[in-house]
Amino acid sequence: MLGIATLIKPLFLLTGIYFLVRRRLQVGFGFCLSILTIVGSSILLFGIDIHRAWFDFCIRPYFGKVMVAFNNQSLDAFIGRLLSDVSLTTWWPPVELGWDFKLVRYVLLSLLVGVVIWVLWRSPRPTTSEEENLEFCIVLSLAILITPISWTHYYLYLLVPLSLYLGDQLAFPKGKNWRIPILISAFLISLPSIHIDSQNILIRFLVSYSFLGGLTLLSTLLAARWFIARNSKFFYEKPSTP
């Protein structure tokens, strides 16, 4: 199912890479097989020329460009809004920004991906379903943030980690200090899409409220995974059942 989802929304590709790295070979094999079967069948049925034309028309022209509209809540859009004066409500075509955008983008992208890789690499393989859920939610949250276009409704995917948290299905530390950032992130990603335009740098920063909520959630999940991996006294206590 994740392989099929990746063909619809490529951001899910990151989940397949995660399962392969974690040596969940059955999941990874099913992921790759689904993609190869569908892509191979499409090429056999329709030929390679129409696929090449689709790539040249729908994908290639947008390489290296960014869409800064208010309802794009990705890392690229967040940076692009701060480094450009393009209208946030009347201009949806992607724009090409200068070296300053590329420099900041690659630094922040490397930081986000690097921190996730470091935390998961320094953590042992999950031994419970709650730990598996936590790592999957980390990868899903990262994918939402770093995909070039992440419309506001994409943040509905983050209902997965929030629901698992509420259902006590995440390996997550207890306490107020852990609950507050979860509530903040839930609030930010649940706000309706705000149709606003301004050249004020603070407003252009706050327009990325969904991105900031997703970033808060990712940071909290990473901190929880690090805490669990480093604190030998921590144990996940499931609620008792009658």
How far apart, in whole angstroms, are the C-alpha atoms of residue 126 and residue 124? 6
* pLDDT value of residue 237: 47
pTM listed for this prediction = 0.88
74 vs 150: CA distance, rounded Å: 5
Q: Where are the domains of the chain?
A: 1-63, 66-242
Tell me the mean pLDDT per 10 residues along the chain, length 242.
89 90 88 92 92 87 86 94 87 84 94 95 89 94 94 94 94 89 95 86 93 97 90 51 51
Q: Which run of H or E residues covers position 189?
A: helix 176-190
What pLDDT score was predicted for residue 64? 80
Q: What is the pLDDT of residue 43?
A: 92
pLDDT of residue 238: 47
Q: Rounded to an integer, what distance in angstroms lies between the CA atom of residue 207 and that of residue 81?
A: 9
pLDDT of res. 236: 44
Report DSSP state, residue 193: P
pLDDT at 181: 95
Q: 175 to each of 114, 179, 180, 181, 189, how far by Cα in Å?
A: 28, 6, 9, 11, 22
The first and second tokens of residue 40, run together, are: 């191979």
